[in-house]
Every structure is written in C-alpha cells, then in structure tokens.
C-alpha cells in the first residue's frame, strides 16, 4: 500500500477533518504560502541540526574509534 492510501485510511479512521487544495499555478497566493511554509520548516530543521552538533559532547580519538567499532557493519561474525 502506498503512503497516500495509508495516510488517507488512517486519517479517515481517526475522523480528521481534511481540506483539499487543488494546486494551480494560477493561484500565486497559495504557491507563495506553500513556499513560505517549506522555507520556515527547512530553517527550523537546519537550526535544530546545527544546535545538535554544537551541543554534542567532545570525545577523544580513542572514544571515536571505539564508537566506530560498535557499528553493525563491524560487528559481523565473519572472520576476514
């Protein structure tokens, strides 16, 4: 089942009230509004990502190597 069908079924089951807006390039206000929403969402996501990087604890080289070795790809049972 694709995402649209799954989401529609979920929304219908939860009895959400949905509005449908037909996208037409003839409606510049709707296009501008959608672009503003996307830009504000992208800005918030970038700010959260940057803040997460800045708030990350500093680790030593040994701790970094240890974390790399804990990745699933390095924990296989195969002997090389």
- Express each pLDDT in 10-55 by its tens digit: 888 888 887 776 766 677 887 888 899 999 999 999 999 999 999 9
pLDDT at residue 15, as a whole number? 87
N- to C-terminal Cα separation, the chain: 41
Whether 68 shows a pLDDT value over 80: the answer reads yes
pLDDT at residue 43, as a whole number? 95
User: What does the alpha-carbon distance between residue 62 and residue 68 come to, in Å, rounded to a whole number?
Assistant: 10
User: Using CB atoms within 10 A of its CB, is residue 24 exposed (0-12), middle (13-18) or buried (19+)?
Assistant: exposed
Average pLDDT over residues 63-78: 75
**What is the phi-psi region of residue 60: left when phi exceeds 0, alpha when psi lies from -120 to 50, beta otherwise?**
beta
Q: Look at the pTM and tell me if it is higher than 0.85.
A: no
């Amino acid at each position: 089942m694709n995402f649209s069908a799954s989401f529609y079924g979920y929304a219908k089951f939860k009895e959400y009230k949905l509005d449908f807006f037909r996208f037409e390039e003839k409606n510049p206000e709707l296009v501008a509004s959608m672009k503003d929403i996307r830009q504000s969402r992208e800005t918030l996501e970038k700010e959260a990502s940057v803040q997460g990087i800045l708030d990350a604890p500093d680790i030593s080289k040994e701790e970094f190597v240890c974390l790399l070795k804990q990745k699933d790809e390095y924990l296989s049972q195969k002997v090389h």
